[in-house]
Amino acid sequence: MYICLCNRVTEKDIEEAASNGATSLRDLRSMLGVSSQCGTCESAAMEVLFGAFEADPGLYYQVA
């Protein structure tokens, strides 16, 4: 599913970014451009990012 329509960022893109070290909205913005245009995707993007950590807690602890 698309999370950021402005930059064509999908849920899978955000999950992949999490596995590559993204831990914050700032990271997602830098890596994928999430929330850099209109900003309406911000809460959905964070929900997906935190969901990735819940699904695999090791992701967060590998980075943090």
Strand segments (E) across 1-64: 2-4, 9-10
The two tokens of residue 16 are 């992949």
pLDDT at 19: 92
Contact assessment for residue 42 and residue 17, using Cβ atoms and an 8 Å cutoff? no
Reported pTM = 0.87
What's the gap between Cα 5 and its chain centre? 14
CATH of the domain at 51: 1.10.10.1100
Domain tally, the chain = 1
Sign of the Cα pseudo-torsion (35, 41, 46, 48, in order):
negative
Q: Residue 12: give the domain boundaries.
A: 2-63
Q: pLDDT tens-digit profile of 7-54? A: 999 999 999 999 999 999 999 999 999 999 999 999 999 999 999 988
